[in-house]
Structure 1
Amino acid sequence: MFKKISHIAIAVRNLEEAIETFLKLTGVENYHIETVEDQKVRVAVLKVGESRIELTEPTSPDSPVAKFIEKRGEGIHHIAFEVEDIEKEIERAKINNFQLIDTKPKLGANNCLIAFIHPKSVNGVLVELTQEKTKDKINDGE
């Protein structure tokens, strides 16, 4: 079951400049930066209410985010939904004929398990499923 919108990811060329812009825009003062090696990105996470904005900078020219920026420019990259059970939601997406990018959860930012659904099957929107890692899910997702 989908619980809430977790975050909106924005693809950026320069993380430090984007942080400055979004801190001014939102008035948020606290954020953290982390590198997600598997996705080849550096991410700055700003908490805004119950949701987050994730500014996402590619760390490699062959990362999906770099390819996105090259093709479309900076902007909204994906919307992420927090789910109760990511494996169940992946199976439900398969049954309902959504085109999956990830058929098994991967480790993402904020110590979460993630999986992506291709925008071709969701009205042009890249959708990320995300679930906080629990002790019983740690070995499954890694």
Structure 2
Amino acid sequence: MAYAHLGVDVSDPATPFDSAKTFEGKLDHVCLAVRKLAPAVAMLERTLGYKPRTAPVENTRQKVVVQFLSRPGSIDIKLIEPASLDSPLVEFIKKGGGGLHHLAFRTESVEAACEDLKSRGARIVTAPEPGEAFDETPIAFAFLGMGLNVELIETDERRSESGPEGLAPDPKI
């Protein structure tokens, strides 16, 4: 099999994914956990040309502050910093210094995507709930293994778009 070197037999029905059916989500953004937003924004603007797409938004449910950055022709980068010392993100940053937190996939239905991922062996970490950075549209989180967390979202809209001075919503080409 094509994946035999990974120890996965896609012809085995016990394999945690169905090779005949592709997951329907589209990669929307990459999320990086940082100690502080401002220096991370400055570094990504200076080195990679990303510009703020939104102002910082506090997510009270997850105890983080979120800011999206965009660059024409690329997917967004979402930066998250702890909003308080009791944020679960503090421990994540202490362990590894920050870095890749999750990949986010946009889908038509977060609930259906959760069921699909569960059928493929993923563990749902956060059931669908309103996403403060996405104007309260549903989001959910799943753990796929290999240290990879996935966020599921239903919209490409962001709360607190930067407006005319920033990039327009969904600047992807």
Query: What interval of TM-score do these two structures reach, taking the shorter chain for normalisation?
Result: 0.7 to 0.9
CA deviations 1:40-86 (Å, max 9, x no partner) are 11111111335210111111222222121011112111111111111
Residue 29 of structure 2 corresponds to residue 45 of structure 1 = no
1:123 aligned to which of 146, 157, 165? 146
In the alignment, structure 2 segments of 5+ residues that lack a partner are 1-22, 157-173
**Separation in structure 1 between the aligned mates of residue 52 and residue 120 of structure 2, nearest angstrom:** 39
- State the TM-score, normalizing by the size of structure 2: 0.68
Aligned residue pairs, count:
132
Residue 133 of structure 2 corresponds to residue 109 of structure 1 = yes
Matched-pair contact (CA < 8 Å) for 2:51–2:70: no
Residue 95 of structure 2 corresponds to residue 71 of structure 1 = yes
Matched-pair contact (CA < 8 Å) for 2:140–2:151: yes
**Separation in structure 2 between the aligned mates of residue 61 and residue 130 of structure 1, nearest angstrom:** 27
* SS, match of residue 105 in structure 1: strand
Matched-pair contact (CA < 8 Å) for 1:7–1:81: yes
Question: What does residue 11 of structure 2 align with?
Answer: none
Identity %: 33
Larger radius of gyration: 2
Instruction: Report which of the two has the higher share of strand.
Output: 1
Matched-pair contact (CA < 8 Å) for 1:87–1:105: no
Matched letter for residue 138 of structure 2: L
**Separation in structure 2 between the aligned mates of residue 83 and residue 127 of structure 1, nearest angstrom:** 12
CA deviations 1:8-28 (Å, max 9, x no partner) are 111111111111111112223
Instruction: Report which of the two has the higher share of helix.
Output: 1
In the alignment, structure 1 segments of 5+ residues that lack a partner are 134-142
- Cα distance, 1:62–1:31 mapped onto 2, change above 3 Å: same
Alignment of structure 1 residues 1-142 onto 2, 5 Å: 2-32=24-54, 33-48=56-71, 49-111=73-135, 112-118=137-143, 121-132=144-155
- Displacement of 1:110 after TM fit? 2.9
Matched-pair contact (CA < 8 Å) for 2:50–2:70: yes
